[in-house]
Amino acid sequence: MSAERLGQLDVLISAHLRWMAAAGYAEATTRARRRHLERFAAWAAPRGITHGREITLPVLERYREALFPRGSKSAQAQALSALKQWLGWAARMRHLGANPAAELQIPRLGRRLPASVLTHEEAERVLARPDTTTPTGLRDRAILEVLYSTGIRRAELIALTLADLDASGGALRIRRGKGDKERIVPIGRRALTWVDDYLCHARPRLLRAPDRGVLFLTRRGTALRANRLTERMHRYVLEAGIPKGGACHVFRHTAATLMLDGGADIRAVQEILGHAELSTTQIYTHVSIRRLKEVHAKTHPAEAPAPPLPTT
C-alpha cells in the first residue's frame, strides 16, 4: 500500500485498530477507540480533512472546541485522549512525519468521590434479597457475595471461569482486568461457601452443552450480559430499601472503603482493586474521612449544642 493511501484517515484508523487487536487490547477499549476516531473522521471530512498530514494542532483545537458544548468534561477528555493515542501511534509507525497532538491540552479531571457507598449493615440487607431457593437466585447471591468480598469489576466477574477459582487457596485469578492486566485477589470463606453452593445446586441446572467453563451462567447457559447483570443487582439494592442507588460497582466502592475503615494498608487495597495508580485508591480514604467527620459531628461532646449560660 502506498504511503499516500496509508495516510488516508479511514485507512489510518483501520490500521490502528488492527494494531490494537494484535497488541492484546481489551475489546471494550478497542470499540471505544473506534467510536472516538470515527467521530473525529466524520467531523473532519466536511472540512476537507481526509489525510493524516492535514491534521494540525489548530485543527485538533477546533475539534476540542466543537466537543465542548456536546458533552461532559470527562467525555471530552476521553475523545481527545483517543486522538492523542492514535496520532502518537501513527507518528511512531512513521505513517506521519510528526505527532500533531503532542502539545494538545486535554481537560484535567479531578478525582471524584464514589457516588454511593454502603454501610456493612446495608450491604448485608442487599445480600439477603435474592431468592436462593431458585437457581438464578442462588447464582445472584453468589455473585453479590463475590462482588462484596473481592471488590472486582463487573466485567471481571462476567469473565470468570471455573479455572479462575482457587477455593483451597482462597483466591480468584482475574485474567481480563482493566488494561488486560492479570492479578490474584483474595476471596473470603463466606463468599466461597455461597459459590460452592451455586456450583453444586444451581450451575448444573443452568448449564447447556457444551460447557465452556464460564463460572456464572444465565438461564440459557451463556455468559452474563453486562447490562442485564447491572439491572438485577440494582433491583436488589432498591428492594433492600436503600436510596443510595448503585449496582455492581457500589460493592467495589463499599469493599474498598470498609477495608480502609478497618485498617487495611492502602497499597494492599490498591493491589486487590487492580488500580494502576495509588491516587485512584486514595479516593476511598477521602470517603473514610468523610464518614469519620460525620460520626465526630454526631457523637463528640464538644459538637453538641452548648447549654445556655446561667442568668444572674
Answer for the pair 87, 104: CB distance below 8 angstroms, yes or no.
no
Q: Which residues fall within 8 angstroms of residue 192, CB to CB, at 6 or more apart?
A: 167, 170
Residue 193: band (very low, low, confident or very high) from pLDDT cuts 50, 70, 90: very high
Give the tens place of pLDDT for each residue, 69-117.
666 777 888 899 999 999 999 999 999 989 999 988 887 755 555 557 8
CA-wise closest residue to 219 among 134, 162, 158: 134
pTM of the model: 0.63
**What are the backbone angles phi and psi of residue 281, rounded to the nearest 5°?**
-70, -30
Amino acid 301: pLDDT: 64
Amino acid 189: pLDDT: 95
Question: For residue 48, is pLDDT > 70?
Answer: yes
CA-wise closest residue to 260 among 247, 250, 273, 245: 273
Positions marked active-site: 153, 178, 249, 252, 275, 284
Q: How many CA atoms lie within 13 A of 63 on its CB side?
A: 30
CA-wise closest residue to 43 among 58, 63, 73: 63
Give the tens place of pLDDT for each residue, 220-268.
999 999 889 999 999 999 999 988 778 888 898 888 888 887 888 888 8
User: CB atoms < 10 A from the CB of 170, how many?
Assistant: 13
Give the tens place of pLDDT for each residue, 26-37.
777 888 999 999
Amino acid 164: pLDDT: 95
- Output the nine-digit C-alpha cell for 73: 468534561
